[in-house]
Structure 1
Amino acid sequence: MKTYLLGGAAALALSLAACGQKAETSEEDAVIAGAEVSEEESEGLPEIIVTDAELEGNPFRQEWDTPYGVPPFAEIQDAHYLPATRKAVLELRADIDAIVSNPDAPTFENTIVALDGAGASLDKVIRVFSNITSTDTNDTLRELEAEIWPMLTREQTAISFNPELFERVKAVYEQRDRLGLDEQDARLLELTHRDFVRNGADLAPGVKTQVAKINEEMSGLTTEFGRNLLLSTKDFKIEITDEAELVGLSEDFKGALKVKGEDKWVLTVDRSVYETFMTQSENRDLRAKMFDGYRLRASEGEYDNGPLAIKIAQLRAKKAELMGYKSHAHYQLETRMAKTPEAAEEFLLRVWEPGLKRAKQERADMQEMVGGEFQIAGHDWWYYSEKVRQAKYAFDDNALKPYFELGAVRQGVFDVTSKLFNISFEPVEVEAWNPIVKSWTVTDNETGEYLGLFMADMYARDSKRGGAWMSSYRGASDVDGDNVRPIVTNNLNLIQPVEGEPTLMRFDEVETLFHEFGHGMHGMLTQIRYKTFSGVNGPRDYTEFPAQILEHWAGAPEVLSTFATHYETGEPIPLELIDKMNAAATFNQGFKTTEYIAAALLDLRWHMLTSEEAAQITNAREFEKKVLEEYGLIPEIEPRYRTQYFSHVFAGGYSAGYYAYLWSEILDADGFTAFRESGDIFDPELAAQLKKWVYEAGGLREADELYRNFRGSDPTIEPLLQIRGFGEEKPSEG
């Protein structure tokens, strides 16, 4: 997926960025484009030719007179994307040329606002293309990605390096204190100027040429990385014809794996299947095969991502050097809350040390259970940690599933957000990209204002990438009285049950649903009028906060009692079961913390390389192994993402930023603590501040200021450590 950073296509940064993350989220690395001019005037951009015949009947060239403005999915064919993109790029070039050639002196309206609104037709095409290639891709669409994303990268680079355009932006920026701008106007000007500078507008001509080549090459490589991962993940299957091999699996899980009409079960390494299987299966040999199938994805043969990761890291390091930074990580973190990779690493290690200590104890507990029969290995951790939890807490995670039926869970998150933000949800029938998608309108109860359309795509399929994410088919804006409300989507990869059976969820999947819904509400409730910083826009180490804080309500006993009801009897979840769940909440936190931080540290180390250091890397696995050994990762734990399938950072927007989930956890733990300390987790005053300064505010101010406006103070790390069970141990009295 690609993020667009300038002009009208900036809206894509709000929705195409696959937000959130409980699994494989991806996004990043293109930006915007220019206008219909000659090849000479466009400074070397390739000529684009598209005929009327190619565009005849193309849905992207028509006004969409559809309910809520949803795309006419049934009319859109794969063949429509490329000509529509080409035409839209020409129109975007024309938009930019109109700004540059305007004979009037540069003003906020004719330069900055015009740039924010540029590229409406490209926005329209690319939002659909990017979403569909994530949810319902095929060979044709994968080939189109390899052509379309580099095309847009070339256009972005031309815009970033357009000297006449930058001169106009700079001229307005230099007058900023005399223009009488309101806060949103001033923020748009500030961010537009900053983006130009950070994209290289001030570089020397020769350096710009080098950066342009790097941008284009990286676009192709990141696309190829994501394609390799998808294909290698879908390629791995284990067919089982002897049901005895599935010993330990629950009947509903076996039913979901069974091939209809055959005595055959198919195992894949889609995350939901993998985690459930590794937790339930008593078949140690089969667990080992699944473990290797998951961790060795895209690591050999035609789908080997190791060489691509090295090349991407080298190009990023070289580009950072050309732009005057020590490393890609230093460039990336300059505008984020952490500010420097050293600060991010120091923070991670503060949590890593108690997490690793706990993980070693968890390993010892499992080994004690196994005895001398065999040495605990990586493929044993999921299964035996669950056995230890059952022994310690008399708590079986599977006992929760009957109380977490998808429809009830979804109603639970609707009820929570309705109570917090005074909004309501109404189911509607609208055309969608897949028959399983469900839709709701969202309305402000106080004003009656329509806030947007929410669409949910919950199930895994071969055409859909892994993980969970939020995106949108239309962003929000309100310029010159044209109030455009968003079309927001949430995507999960739940296992689709046998026809007629309910969709029962693990509690971690419940948390994922709340998490992605938090991103969805961040995009939905925005009251920012400019596309550039409305919705989910903001630094990576802040934008997870609105998603992660909502997870706390998912596990709150007073909330669970309202939506966690038995799918057959309708009985609410027993308080005893909630107590057991909460008592076991910090169980296995050593493993969870260690595998996550290992991946975050690996990401930082790849991107803290100088250009000279990166050039010395020849084997991705050897580099990875060396880094993880230096931090002391124990061999029984794999990092959550190994290099070859770390799509967040090598095919997406989290490069040097995967630490963001834990950094944001400082904010969400501290923020929810405020609700708990108030005595009411729906405290109206706090909820109003949360809505105003977080969910509605987009990128209106710097992230730390937005948080302080909500909380009234800076966050502290202690609540995070307490929630993970790593709080300071008090000395015993005696």
Structure 2
Amino acid sequence: MTPKHIMLGTAAALTLTVPACEKTSSDEREAATAPAPAAAALPEITVTEAELRDNPFRREWTADFGVPPFNDIRDTHYLPAVKKGILEQRAEIAAIVDNPDAPTFENTIVALDQTGASLDKVMKTFGNITNTDTNDTLSALESEIYPMLTRESDAISFNPALFERVQAVYAKRDRLGLDEQDARLLELTHRSFVRQGAALSPEAKAEVAAINAALSSLTTEFGKNLLLATKSFQIEVTDEADLAGLSDDFKKAIKVEGEDKWILTVDRSVYETFMTEGENRDLRKQMFDGYRLRASSGAHDNGPILIRIAQLRAKRAELMGYPSHAAYQLAPRMAKTPEQAEAFLVRVLEPALARAKEERADMQALIGDDFQLEGQDWWFYADKVRQAKYAFDGNALKPYFEIGAVRQGVFDVASHLFNISFTPVATDTWNPQVQSWDVKDNATGAHLGLFMADMYSRGSKRGGAWMSSFRNASDVDENIRPIVVNNLNITPPAKGEPTLLSYDEVETVFHEFGHGLHGLLTQVKYSTFSGVDGPKDYTEFPSQLLEHWADDPEVLAKYAKHYKTGEVIPLELVDKMNAAAAFNQGFKTTEYIAASLLDLRWHSLSSEEAAKITDARAFEKQVLDDYGIPPEIEPRYRSQYFSHIFSGGYSAGYYGYLWAEILDADGFAAFKETGDIYNPELAGKLKKWIYEAGGMREADELYRNFRGSDPTIEPLLRNRGFVDDKPSEG
């Protein structure tokens, strides 16, 4: 296989709890692997042949599609395989540095891209399994393995002789006659070294190395605390009357088998359903506090941890020559600066707050004088107002969204757009719930990749939804195709019952599959920038774009059929759904922007400012007050459980989902303007410049090549119901 070596971030990226995709570009890597100073000798690592005997990571994987032999892998196999992989990569780096020949593109840049194959092999599997089927042993291994990788990663980044060779090749880049992909690999390799501190003084490198080591431990601890806090919260209900308002299907799903007992958790799908449908206000309050106060006190308190993370990131940015971590992170992104990202968010926040105030007034009118609306009431009464205004009950949609039909629907959209096929195949899997498909190009018959889906929640799986990979694509010595997986957390139905999705869950299926296509269709030679690559405010574009097909009437008619009768979803119900689509957008937009602004403010602190923060909740409250966020609207993520930014790859980047919505709204508008949502010419450009291109060019250039122009914000505002539905004049 052809890996992306550690320095460019693959192994480190596997620690990230990113909701959409796990792979990160070199510029996005949280230093989740930590270094030693350049001049310091790396600690000795030993592993014996006996420890490696019969280790599945040390043999060639011969199963179809290169799937890992999950049934043979034991927890005890990971650490010896990691140690051996580290030793092999050390030898590969030494061979590049000690090469007596003058530095060339092949013997330095390509050779560097090819290092770490055996380490990448084990870490891809380890990172995926610890996110989907973890246990105490694997959790302990994370704390041991990731600091080791940090040290190795920074040792590569801070190796002066290696950087000297990279610099030598980069200095003569215009005379090498490189093709576009070769030139891009050279550019990104050099950029990665510089951004990770290769040009710093030895003293600064040592300080950055120490910070990276500390961050590796802290971000891992943050994620563990959140997982434990989330899983430890349960409400046991013994009186069915307390579940008034909930559907029979939902009650069956949360019922303890053989007992008159129901368990409520703060897993997102359970939480949202209960907060929307549950009539018991006291119980809603318990759920609301259980969700928003996770990891904010006691043994799993993330407050002190996140403050320290923010302080260390600010200090590291200062050492790198930037005023803040946000300034460092955004330099290579589309937004360029924290100020531009903030200005964009505030522009959208203004109409969102105005709409949220209208929504609040509607709900208070429904409540009357009985009590004042509070945070635990918003979901419930918003749904009541929606039903009153639009005679629309979201639960009426569920019978038309059976999980298998929805999956086939998204497959059909991809087939129409990109002329590809999906054939179910039997493969080894890490859990019996996982399914697999062989993805092929219909025009050539070529295998494009293996797609796997792990759709249901379980106690050993982290929350949220995300895409990840067991193998990246590359085409250096041989054509290696990717193994891509979508992970969701849908509540398993009662035994014998179908899995019926809410429309929000349908959108999530389409969203994550958009990431999956970005990984599967890639036609990039080097794994360094193949597949899901690019700045954080761009990588959500290919996923969010696909969501637009989910509710198009033409598409719904194909896949939204009643699971019992086969009846196509009635046009009247579709019209009601579309009419209600902009409903509650004030709340949804405000809660998202509130979290995005929290992220930016935490990471826009200077080193001096960060050092003064002692109370995470007080800082958070001040930020929300500064922007006028109403107290009854909680940010989508409070700081103590904001895993995207404190144990994931979205630090100073959570705004990127909304920024990418500029692109996806404008991009889908291009199809609508042609009158054909499958317009072949436009679909061809979308495939070539977005889904196949990875990080081959800068993100704004890739978008222009697809769309023919820069995007405008008006389609985003129209989609959210914040402006009149009329053509843009700009």
TM-score bracket for the superposition, by shorter chain length:
over 0.9
Q: Distance in 2 between matches of 1:557 and 1:40?
A: 59
Aligned to 1:193: 190
Taking the TM superposition and a 5 Å limit, the aligned residue runs for 1:254-653 are 254-480=251-477, 482-653=478-649
Give the CA deviation at 1:21.
3.9
RMSD: 1.9
Contact 2:238 2:260 in 1 (8 A): yes
Specify the alignment match of 1:153 in structure 2. Answer: 150
Which residue is equivalent to 1:204?
201
Distance 1:605 1:101 in 2: 45
Note the 1:658-697 alignment, pairs <5 A.
658-697=654-693
Letter of the structure 1 residue corresponding to residue 147 of structure 2: P
CA contact (8 A) 2:330 2:338 kept: yes
**1:515–1:15 CA distance, 2 compared to 1 (3 A):** farther
CA separation of 1:463 and 1:40: change in aligned 2, threshold 3 A: closer
Residue 588 of structure 1 deviates from its aligned partner by 0.2
Paired with 2:561 and 2:110, the residues of 1 have a C-alpha distance of: 50
Residue identity matched to 2:638: R
CA deviations on 1:136-169 (whole Å, 9 max, x unpaired) are 0011111110111111011111111000000000
2:57 corresponds to which of 37, 55, 60: 60
The amino acid that maps onto 1:155 is: E
Amino acid across the alignment from 2:201:
A
Q: Would the aligned equivalents of 1:394 and 1:580 in 2 still touch at CA under 8 Å?
A: yes
2:657 is equivalent to residue 656 of structure 1 = no
Query: Distance between the aligned counterparts of 1:10 and 1:243, measured in 2?
Result: 50
Shift of 1:44: 2.4
In 2, the alpha carbon distance for the partners of 1:33 and 1:648 equals: 20
Match of 2:700, SS state, is helix
Q: In structure 1, what is the Cα distance between the partners aligned to 2:612 and 2:434?
A: 48
Residue 107 of structure 1 aligns with which residue?
Answer: 104
Deviation at 1:462, TM superposition (A): 0.6
1:112-261 alignment runs, 5 A limit? 112-261=109-258
State the AA in 2 paired with 1:550.
Answer: L
Shift of 1:320: 0.4
Q: CA deviation at 1:303?
A: 0.3
From the superposition, tell whether residues 435 and 341 of structure 1 become closer, same or farther in structure 2 (CA, over 3 Å). Answer: same
Aligned residue type for 2:609: E
Q: Map Cα deviations across residues 205-225 of structure 1 (whole Å, 9 max, x no partner).
A: 111110000000000000000
Kindly, what percent of the aligned residue pairs are identical? 71
Q: Does 1:707 align with 2:703?
A: yes
- Most deviating of 9-18 and 595-604: 9-18
| Partner Cα separation in structure 2 for residue 448 and residue 620 of structure 1 | 55
For 1:495, the aligned partner's letter is T
- Compared CA separation, residues 461 and 543, structure 1 to 2 (3 A): same
Question: What's the CA shift for 1:17?
Answer: 5.7
Query: Does 345-354 or 6-15 show the bigger shift?
Result: 6-15
Q: d(CA) in 1 for partners of 2:482 and 2:15?
A: 13
- Within 5 Å, give how 1:90-105 maps onto structure 2: 90-105=87-102
TM-score by length of 1: 0.96
| Alpha-carbon distance in 1 for matches of 2:681, 2:10 | 31
Do the aligned partners of residues 160 and 153 (structure 1) sit closer, same or farther apart at CA in structure 2, a change above 3 Å counting? same
| d(CA) in 1 for partners of 2:500, 2:393 | 15
What amino acid is aligned across from residue 575 of structure 2 in structure 1?
A: D
Q: Please list the CA deviations of residues 682-713 of structure 1 after superposition, one character each: whole Å capped at 9, or x if unmatched.
A: 00000000000000000000000000000000
Q: Per-residue deviation at 1:67?
A: 1.5
Q: How does 1:39-54 map to 2 (within 5 A)?
A: 43-54=40-51
Q: TM-score, normalised by structure 2?
A: 0.97
Q: Measure, in 2, the Cα distance between the counterparts of 1:602 and 1:557.
A: 37
8 Å Cα contact 1:7-1:532 kept in structure 2: no
Q: Relative to 1, partners in 2 of residues 1:22 and 1:83: Cα closer, same or farther, differing over 3 Å?
A: closer
SS of structure 2 residue aligned to 1:454: strand
Shift of 1:728: 5.1
Contact (CA 8 Å) 1:689, 1:709: kept in 2 or not? yes
**Match for 1:174: what amino acid?**
A
Q: Which amino acid aligns with 1:684?
A: P
In 2, Cα distance between equivalents of 1:671 and 1:29: 30
Residues 553, 329 of structure 1: alpha-carbon distance in 2 compared, 3 angstrom cutoff: same
CA distance in structure 2 between the partners assigned to 1:10 and 1:599 by the alignment: 26
Check the 8 A contact 1:14/1:537 in 2, yes or no: no
- The structural deviation recorded for 1:19 is 5.4
**In the alignment, is the contact (CA less than 8 A) between 1:424 and 1:443 conserved in 2?**
yes
1:409 and 1:79 map into 2 onto residues whose CA distance is 38
Deviations 1:40-74 (A, max 9, x none): 99832211111111111111111111111111111
1:511 to 1:355, Cα distance in 2 relative to 1, 3 A: same
Task: Specify the SS of the correspondent of 2:693.
Answer: coil
- The amino acid across from 2:546 in the alignment is L
Secondary structure, aligned partner of 1:425: strand
Q: Deviations over 1:634-665 (max 9, x none)?
A: 01100000000000000011000000000000
Tell me by how many angstroms 1:447 deviates. Answer: 1.0
SS state of the match for residue 172, structure 1? helix
Residues 675 and 40 (structure 1), Cα distance of their counterparts in 2 relative to 1, 3 Å cut: closer
The count of corresponding residues between Structure 1 and Structure 2 is: 721
CA distance in 2, matches of 1:54, 1:14: 27
Distance of 1:150 and 1:606 partners within structure 2: 24
Deviations 1:212-254 (A, max 9, x none): 0000000000000000000000000001111111111100000
Q: Deviations over 1:436-463 (max 9, x none)?
A: 0000000000111100100000000010
